[in-house]
Structure 1
Amino acid sequence: MKLRFEDNTLRLRLSAEEVAAFGESGHLVSHVPLAPGPEGTLTYALQRASDDSTAAAEALRVAYLPGHLTVLVPETIARNWVASEEISLSATLHVADAVELRILVEKDLGCRH
């Protein structure tokens, strides 16, 4: 799973294998060591959230704790996305006064002709 930040955009790109694994387990996680020790690792994840959770209030949400970033996708949306030809999910979150974060979760399936 690839993570990319650009300005106020957070983007996750999943290979076909990762899309299938997310469909089965509802969870993907990656770790990036940035410094020695456990506090020096950035962990990022994609998590399916049950439709009755607070994450269902919007199409996508972000949970953030220092060193841990999780993109939450409501269960119905996640299952429909995995099973469809739809390439991306997106949402714009208001994170502070006049500050928005755009979230993209995309299938990185390469060129298809």
Structure 2
Amino acid sequence: MKIRIHNNSIRLRLSMSEVKKLSETNEIKEELKFPNPYPSFIYILKASEDGNSFNIIFEKGQISISLPSAEIKAWANTAQVGIAKKQALAEGTDLQLLIEKDFQCLHKRPGENETDNFPNPQA
């Protein structure tokens, strides 16, 4: 799972096996380790505990994103490319979230393995 963070937006891209795992187990997790004494940065995408809500929480170096389980299943099992969400912030702005299927690039880059990425529809 790739993460891109810019200003008030988070973008996640998932490979075919990651989408399948999320759909089957309701959770996928990545960890970015730093040298000691610094803690790891963890990001999790999962089905919400009640199965129906959307939420983004950041605490103790961890981003936890919860989505309705039905929405995850529908996205995983159709040609739908992404899920877009907004979470209102206290300052009157929004935190934008985009979760996408990771497609193979149209222009191959040397040394990059894209065998687990979704076939590009424009190829």
Fold match by TM threshold 0.5: yes
Q: Counterpart of 1:64 in 2: which secondary structure?
A: strand
**What is the TM-score of this pair, normalised by structure 2?**
0.79
Q: Which has the higher contact order (CA 8 A, sep 6+)?
A: 1
Q: After TM superposition, give the deviation of residue 68 of structure 1 in Å.
A: 1.1
Q: Counterpart of 2:56 in 1: which secondary structure?
A: strand
Structure number with greater Rg is 2
Correspondence for 1:75 among 69, 79, 86: 69
Q: Deviations over 1:54-95 (max 9, x none)?
A: x734xx321221211111111111111111110000111112
- Supply the distance in 1 between the matched residues of 2:34 and 2:4 (Cα, whole angstroms): 15
Q: Does 1:49 align with 2:48?
A: yes
Q: Counterpart of 1:40 in 2: which secondary structure?
A: coil
Structure 2: gaps of 5 or more residues: 105-119
Q: After TM superposition, give the deviation of residue 99 of structure 1 in Å.
A: 2.3
- Supply the distance in 1 between the matched residues of 2:89 and 2:34 (Cα, whole angstroms): 25
Q: Once superposed, which parts of structure 1, at least 4 consecutive aligned residues long, lie more than 4 Å away? A: none
Structure 1: gaps of 5 or more residues: none
- Supply the distance in 2 between the matched residues of 1:24 and 1:3 (Cα, whole angstroms): 21
- Supply the distance in 1 between the matched residues of 2:34 and 2:82 (Cα, whole angstroms): 29
1:72 corresponds to which letter in structure 2?
A: S
Q: Does 1:21 align with 2:17?
A: no
Q: CA RMSD in A?
A: 1.6
- Taking only the aligned residue pairs, the percentage that are identical comes to 21
Normalized per residue, the structure richer in helix is 1
Q: Is the 8 A contact 1:16 1:109 kept in 2?
A: no
